[in-house]
Amino acid sequence: MISVLKSLLQIVRPYQWWMLLAAVMGFATVGSGIGLLVSSAYIIAKASLHPPFTELQLGIAGVRFFGIARGVLRYIERLVSHNTTFKILSKLRIWFYESLEPLAPARLMHYKSGDLLQRITGDIDTLENLYARVIAPPLTALMVSVLLWILMGKFSLMFSVTLFCFQAAAAVGIPLFTGYLNRGTASKISALQTELQTKTLDCIQGIGDLMLFNRLDDHIRKIHELKKRELALQRKQTLIQKSHESLTGLLMNAAVLVLLWMLAPEVSAGNINGVYTAVIIIAVMASFEAFLPLPDAVQHLEANATAGKRLFEIVDAQPAIIVPESPEKFPADSTIRFENITFSYPETSFPALSEVSFTIREGEKFAIVGPSGAGKSTITSLLLRFWDPAQGNIHIGNKNIRHLDPEVIRKNTGIVDRKTYLFGTTIRENLLLAKPDADDEELKQSLLFAGLGSFTAKLDKWVGQHGMNLSGGERQRMAIARMLLQNAPVIVLDEATANLDTLTEKSVMYSILELCRQKPAKSLLVITHRLRDMAQYDKIIVLEKGTIVEQGSHDELLKNNGLYASMWSLQHRLNPPELLTGS
Amino acid sequence: MNLDRRLLLLAKQYPIPFIASILFGLLGGIALIGQASLLSRIIDTIFLKHTGLENILKLLFLFALFSIFRALFNWTSESEANRGTLKIKQSLHERLMEKLSALGPAYTGSVQSGKLSVNLLKGVESLDPYFSQYIPQLALSSLIPLTILAVVFPTDVFSGFILLTTAPLIPLFMLLIGKAAKKVTAKQWETLSRMSGNFLDVLQGLTTLKLFGRSRERKQSIFEISEAFRHATMKVLKVAFLSSLALELVGTIGTAIIAVSIGLRLWNGSIGFESALFILLLTPDFYLPLRQLGTKFHAGMEGVSAAHDIFTLLDKPEPEKEITAHPSDTLDYSKENIVFENVRFSYDGSGTYALQQINCTLKPCNTIAITGPSGAGKTTFINLLLRFIDPCGGAIMIGGKALQSIEREQWLQRVAWIPQHPYFFNATLRENLLLAKKDATEDELMTAVEYCRLGSFVDSLPQGLDTHIGEQGTRISGGEAQRLSFARAFIKEAPILVLDEPTSHTDPTLEQELLESMNRLTKGKTSVIIAHRLSTVKDADHILVFDKGRIVQSGSHSSLMKEDGFYRNALRTFQENTAV
């Protein structure tokens, strides 16, 4: 936990002065509260002795000053601490993004599910209160403690020491005690919550199946039991947590009691002016305000440490590729050559590709086909340098792609795959990703090309979270529009038209082929398992279980009577697949 | 009904813990007054009477006793509030789950499951502060100051008067400034959560950013967005925090006025030191509950927005339950016609029908294909057959009995369902298969597995049938899920099979295998299939063509091809367009 915390502090270190300022303001606020009560006590103690009026004036001035200062300081303190919190939050986001960026997508394959990423952002949001809830309270308490030490020291060192003992008990003893009683409860609760979450999702998504198999009541009973267990644990946790305030109050009263015990003989002996009896006691009472938030700080500390640990676990992974320090220039010749490539994903026993070699010449139309799981998409991942092959080399032009800047490779490769990600912003923003300096005319042209003519009038339309306001086919066509804007010499279509209906698929493919024919000619790599209009490709390779089993033109492959021919006949026996239902 | 009122009604279901919480809170307040009284007596004795320890021992002892009682009372107050809150949370959760099961798949299919599960779990939890903090504080914030006033007035009327006149300023300020600031802050927090959503969006789309070679430059924009947000927010907060400044000032200035005024009267000799100190000690505690109400109100309000979603769900009208349930039925469903008699159905209960004038007969052991454009009512038809919904008019008859009069569970035991996206639970493969038949033997399972060509798939799993699948377990591909779903239907051995045919996005080899499994599964059963393939439609014994909520044509393929209608037209257009 300590090391996680250290690393976290290292990240937010640029804001140390802001944090210190906020803590000082917090101290000044509590201090003014003490000042207000102490000067009030001073006025009435003094007045009861009926001195000349001028002797009261100091107290009255103090009351006025602290009365206003407390409000104003609290105001400033809240502003400064919020400002600091936001600064820290943005720092944390950038830090996390910076660390995550080199890891994507290779090292993030397990985090594909949205839930996990959601938890990560939740973790970062948790860390946002690192300062306000974890760092600031002990700092403020410490400063108040020092102030009281000095104040008490004016009367007797023994008072300082005694008060310090009680304050230490409030600052350290109570959090340790309640922390001990509650140890493990929080993690048990969060485990139960995760289980509840899964069971509830099961119940929602599988309710039809549960009803048909007559298990719904059973399942709901299980959920109720989990909830009951969670609530029981919550009760335990709350009972212990809620004792903080009472225990701190008890310690405060104990400190008051002991100090009164020590004061009485001193005052009657005349060692201490009786006027200060009320002042000292009230100062002690007011100072405990600073210790109330401490037990919570310990809990937030735990939450922060857990969140931090999870984040570090993710970003501490090694990137799958090494970006060259001084990359070579992207070649003018965009011929792609795979040489004897072998590659396996981590923690798998079978290679995804083994000894695969092929060449896609500039301007060539090239297809890779094969059943699902044959390794087709791995080829794209390697070409884009999301991974490096275990064996063999990939060349673009005459350059090994290991010596090129991966960003430049990707900029020069236009890809449309089965899953198009759209950002929760406008159509325009989503298109500009491919070409940031494109003007509206270009954007409209690209939309028309992709068969999205209706979108040209609504470039500023919000596409919804993950583009959910668009249909599957529309999202796919957005990707095609982006590809056009990108105007890259190499185009990769990875099951790109799988979500389109037959008619649209035909027209989109026709346009893409047109585009490839335009000068300068573009290379086209199509990855598919749907064998449609195969005669248009210059070359086809057939992959099965990571190896090339056949290659050649469509006619040659049909004559071979191998896997390709059987796939072809299967599909054309079953086809046409869509009837009246469309897609 | 007003949300606050509905929430209060929830608390009224469990009055005892909340009353106890308020009562103990009040007792804590009384103990506090006792402490203040004792403390002012002790200090008076030490300060003005200069007596030794022996004279204050009894007072010190009492002070200690009151301290302990106060701590206990306050803790009990919290504990009771927590007890009541947990009861409410539990009952709400139970009601929500009941509602969910009553609404059934027709409802869950129409909403985002992630959002719904958040409502069911986090929504209920976020109500906690409203009940455990805000409600007790609502009572205590008037009870405790009133109790304090009741002891201050007899001691010193003037101070009592100051307290009484300043106290209403706090709720007044809260209302005035709060109202103006609340809107702005609420909007600001919304922006904050949107920004956090934005960040999530960037993380999820990181691969896409990389594909366009734009991931590194995105860092700068994250920074800029965050900074812009910070500046905007700080501007708002500068105004919003003025409310807390005003509230704080009422408390501190009230204390200052009391201190100075009693100080002056002490000096005059019109009040004694002990009374003066007593009042001074109580003053901060007089304002405290009022100020706390503000913070606890804000804590509670977060939950109220969640309450909105919860109540919306609870208020959803439930489909009517079957009225007459026959204790047992001896019908052999594999030999009975299922007849739809003028059935209509509307999802929102209004005049727009998802299905109407549905008249058809499903003959036993026939394969019935359902076809038609999307939105034509095919899924609604299936939902009716599965009794996820019941007709709004007309009747579905089987063997002369209305389907509604048969107990739903009994009916569903005779039906097997293969949806387009079958669901697998977070459990082992075996448990997922056993859902279909609790006491299926190992042999039965293995037969089903072999029958649906899952043998090599199961062999490839690390623990075979005992491998964990689902969200947190091994991922299964679409084709495997389909076949597993077939296997479940096979194990269930139900006489009626309802099937939403898998669409064509799987690879051809797989497609062929699925078709074979499907053909074998439908043999000897009354099978109703939402068909996506021409071959399935052609081979069916009977075809129902749906359009705009009605059955527009029915018959066999050959008879439909002779009719000039929707079916033939659609097929012709299709063939013309796909001709290469």
A41 has pLDDT over 90: yes
Model pLDDT, residue A276: 92
Give the distance, in angstroms, between the CA of residue B494 and the centroid of all CA atoms in the same chain. 34
Tell me the C-alpha to C-alpha distance, in Å, between residue A334 and each of A358, A360, A527: 14, 9, 18
Indicate if the pLDDT at residue B421 is higher than 80.
Answer: no
For residues B405 and A230, the model is more confident at: A230
Task: Give the pLDDT mean for B351-369.
Answer: 88
CATH class of the domain comprising A2-315 = mainly alpha
Spell out which residues of chain A touch residue B51, defining contact as CB-CB under 8 Å.
Answer: 264, 268
Q: Report CB contact under 8 Å: A212, B415.
A: yes
Residues of B in contact with A215 (CB under 8 A): 435
pLDDT of res. B324: 54
Q: Which residue of B has its CA nearest to A68?
A: B249
Angle of the B3-13 helix axis to the B273-314 helix axis, nearest 10:
100
In chain A, where the domains are located: 2-315, 334-412+533-575
A342 vs chain B: nearest CA distance in angstroms? 22
In this complex, do A253 and B63 lie within 8 Å of one another by their Cβ atoms? Answer: yes
B61 — contact with chain A (CB < 8 Å)? no
**What angle is formed at CA A29 by the lines to CA A25 and CA A30, rounded to 5 degrees?**
120
Please tell me which of the candidates A71, A247, A254 has its beta carbon nearest to residue B248. A71
Q: For residue A358, what are the β-bridge partners?
A: A338
For residue B1, pLDDT beyond 60: no
Chain B hits for A501, Cβ within 8 Å: none
The fold of the A334-412+533-575 domain, in CATH, is: Rossmann fold (3.40.50)
Q: Is the pLDDT of residue A315 over 80?
A: yes
CB B501 within 8 A of CB B533: yes
Which band of pLDDT confidence, cut at 50, 70 and 90, is reported for residue A67?
A: very high
Edge to edge, the sheet with strand B338-345 lists B355-362, B338-345, B393-398, B401-402
pLDDT level of residue B330 (50, 70, 90 thresholds): low
Average pLDDT over residues A388-404: 93
Q: Which two tokens stand for residue A248?
A: 């701190």
Q: What integer pLDDT is reported at residue A581 of this predicted model?
A: 41
Pick from B53, B98, B237: CB nearest A265: B53
B568 touches chain A (CB under 8 A): no
| Distance, CA of B462 to CA of B467 (rounded, Å) | 7
| Range with lowest mean pLDDT among A321-325, A440-444, B22-26 | A321-325
Q: What is d(CA A12, CA A308) in angstroms, rounded to the nearest whole number? A: 12
Say yes or no to pLDDT of B296 above 70.
yes
Looking at the partner chain, which of B35, B198, B249 has a beta carbon nearest the beta carbon of A71?
B249
Mean pLDDT of A174-187: 87
pLDDT at A148 over 50: yes
Which pLDDT score is estimated for B322? 53
Among the partner residues B101, B273, B409, nearest to A220 by beta-carbon distance: B101
Quote the minimal CA–CA distance from B114 to chain A in Å: 7
In order, the DSSP letters of A279-327 are: HHHHHHHHHGGGGTTHHHHHHHHHHHHHHHHHHHHHHTSPPSS---SSP
Nearest Cα residue in chain A from B236: A79
Shortest Cα–Cα distance, B266 to chain A (Å): 5
* Full-model pTM: 0.79
pLDDT value, residue B312: 87
What residues contact residue B488 under an 8 Å CB cut-off, 6+ apart?
Answer: A213, B416, B422, B432, B433, B435, B436, B448
DSSP B196-253: HHHHHHHHHTHHHHHHTT-TTTHHHHHHHHHHHHHHHHHHHHHHHTHHHHHHHHHHHH
* Lowest mean pLDDT across A347-351, A384-388, B210-214: A347-351
A210 vs B contacts (CB less than 8 Å) = 435
pLDDT of residue A30: 94
Lowest-pLDDT range, A253-257, B518-522, B541-545? B518-522
Is B237 within 8 Å of chain A by CB?
Answer: yes
In chain B, whose CA is at the least distance from the CA of A380? Answer: B211
Q: How far is A94 from chain B (nearest CA, A)?
A: 6
Whether B233 contacts chain A with CB within 8 A: yes
In the predicted structure, residue B580 carries a pLDDT above the cut 50: no
Q: Name the H helices within A487-524.
A: 502-517
Residue pLDDT, tens place only, A557-581: 999 988 898 888 877 765 444 444 4
Is the Cβ pair B416, A224 closer than 8 Å? Answer: no
Q: Which domains occur in chain B, in start order?
A: 335-414+528-580 (3.40.50.300)
pLDDT at A14 > cutoff 80 = yes
Shortest CA distance from A75: residue in chain B: B245
SS (H, E, C) B64-114: HHHHHHHHHHHHHHHHHHHHHHHHHHHHHHHHHHHHHHHHHHHHHCCCCHH
**Which residue does chain A place closest to B55, by CA atoms?**
A264
Which pLDDT value is given to residue A502?
65
CB-based contact, B407 to chain A, within 8 Å: no
Nearest to B527 by CA among B331, B338, B399: B338
Distance from A562 to chain B by nearest Cα, in Å?
14
Q: Say whether pLDDT at B53 is over 60.
A: yes
Which of chain B's residues have a Cβ under 8 Å away from the Cβ of A75? 241-242, 244-245, 248
Return the pLDDT at B426.
75
Is residue B244 a contact partner of residue A74, using CB atoms and an 8 Å limit? yes
pLDDT score of A166 more than 90: yes
Query: Nearest to residue A152, comparing CAs of A258, A57, A280?
Result: A280
Does B192 lie at the interface with A, CB-CB under 8 angstroms? no
Q: How many residues does chain B have?
A: 580
Using 50, 70 and 90 to split pLDDT, how confident is the model at A253?
A: very high
pLDDT (0 to 100) of residue B452: 83
- The pair of structure tokens assigned to A255 is 């400190």
Across the range A218-238, mean pLDDT stands at 94
Beta-carbon separation of A254 and B67 below 8 A:
yes
Given this model, what pLDDT does residue A61 score? 95
- Beta-carbon pairs below 8 A across chains A and B: 426
* Whether B256 contacts chain A with CB within 8 A: yes
* Nearest residue to A104 via CA among A410, A324, A435, A495: A410
Residue A243: list chain B partners with CB under 8 A: 75
Averaged pLDDT score across all residues of chain B: 84
**pLDDT at residue A431, as a whole number:** 93
* pLDDT at A406 exceeding the cut of 80: yes
Cβ <8 Å between A44 and B533 = no
Nearest CA-CA distance, residue B533 and chain A, Å: 5
pLDDT for the residue B180:
66
Rounded to an integer, the average pLDDT of A284-298 is 89
To test the contact with chain A by mutation, choose from B100, B211, B569 the residue with the greatest count of A C-beta atoms within 10 A, namely B211
> Mean pLDDT across the stretch A389-403?
93
Predicted complex: ipTM over 0.85: no
How confident is the model at residue B193, as a pLDDT? 65
Q: What is the full DSSP assignment across A399-445?
A: EEGGGB-HHHHHHTEEEE-SS----SSBHHHHHHTT-TT--HHHHHH
- The tens digit of pLDDT for each residue in A434-480 reads 998 999 999 999 998 888 888 998 899 888 777 777 877 788 889 98
Tokens 């028309």 belong to residue: A448
User: CB-CB: which of B116, B508, B535 is closest to A571?
Assistant: B508
Convert the pLDDT of each residue in B173-190 to its tens digit. 777 776 766 666 666 666
> d(Cα A225, Cα A5) in Å, to the nearest integer?
36
* Residues B345/B298, Cβ–Cβ less than 8 Å: no
Mean pLDDT of chain A: 87
- Asked if the bond preceding B327 is cis, omega within 30° of 0, the reply is no
Q: Among A313-317, A337-341, A383-387, which stretch is predicted with the lowest mean pLDDT?
A: A313-317
Cα angle vertex B498, ends B497, B503, to 5°?
A: 125
